[in-house]
Structure 1
Amino acid sequence: MRQNRGRQTSWLQNSTDGNLRCCSGKVAGWVVLWVYKVAVDRQQQELLLPMIVALDVYYRQQQAKAVAVTFEAWDSTTLTNKHEAKLSGLEPYEPGAFYKRELPCLLAVLERVDLKEVNYVVIDGYVVLDDDNRPGLGWHLYQHLEEKVPVIGVAKTRFYHSGRQVVGVLRGQSKSSLYITSAGTDVATAAAFIGKMAGFYRIPALLHELDSLTRS
């Protein structure tokens, strides 16, 4: 009997070890699958992250420097990339048709950006000028982008014809609004985006950095 019990105990130990090894293999497999799923989910989230492009132009006599900066989210604190283009032989300023002078500059620097990855474009100025949707610089840009990328205008001064198509945004302790217009997304949403941008002052930190890069 003792011998049989010994054999039985030995068989149980072998059987238990086998089950343990089997369970260990399953657990390892589950861990691998879980790690793979986390990696895929993270990659998908990264692909869904918006890339936002902000544009600005600075003029020196008959020359212009256009700069495009990119960042991942509206509350980002750092730029992901920057591009510039220098132009000469510009169109003379025409009252009421400012876009004829500035639009070529914006398009030139946008050639350095992969627009397939861009979710929003931010410009310094207006998209629409009044409640009749009279086109501003941003609207002409929106048309050149074949209405595929929403354009948000951030203006520092209120255009005298602007009405319901403009939403004022107060930031920080400033008592002076930024004036937001848009195409491709509703203006209230656009205003909320600009309101949540990083920075304690009236001008969002990344837009201030863009202005400095343009002037340098």
Structure 2
Amino acid sequence: RAFDGDRGPNTGGMGVYSPVPIVTDEELANMTHTMRVAAAATAREPFKNDYRGVLYGGFMLTPEGPKVLEYNARFGDPETQVVLPRLKTDLVDVMMAVAEGRPDDIELEWDDQWAVCVVLASAGYPGKYEKGKVILGVEDAEAMDGVTVFHAGTARNADGELVTAGGRVLNVVALGKTFDEAREKAYEACDVINFEGKQLRSDIGAKAAAGRGAWE
């Protein structure tokens, strides 16, 4: 949802975190099994296409356990932007091994740090919004330890200034040794970035930090 407290219209995503602290080992195993079955199915009838690439599973936790909402054959934002920063294995090596049909040559290694992403959007998103607002502070944010700013809807104007060019403008990602530290750093970085009409949720990860009872 667009606004704090899960209010307002649905969006493409206003924030995300990795790993998800409320997921149990059993639920994770359930989702992993589902993805393995789905991946194996691409090599069987009626496909026979030897698919090599990304298979993204979008899950929702329900009282009956994880349920698949969608599959995508691509990386998606902002979800991927809190996963890949935690991947210690070289992504190019992973892609080459997959493309060349030798996935067993790769062992994925993950950073133990937490990652939190907060989306900075244009005022009015996901409805009508204005473009061309000058953006300041991105370099200052990226100079902060563990912070990466991904561009989602930006451009350069005639004067070479960075400006807004979409509904979701920037995805601000921070790594931290704890979930709370990552959240705090992400919002500190968001504070130093400014443009007219900057819109963001101030509660990304708050429910997860409070535990599963926050959804009841």
Q: Which TM-score bucket, shorter chain as reference?
A: under 0.3
**Structure 1-normalised TM-score?**
0.25
Larger RCO: Structure 1 or Structure 2 (Cα < 8 Å, ≥ 6 residues apart)? 2
1 or 2, which has the higher helix percentage?
1
Q: Based on CA coordinates, which of the two structures has the bigger radius of gyration?
A: 1
**Structure 2-normalised TM-score?**
0.25
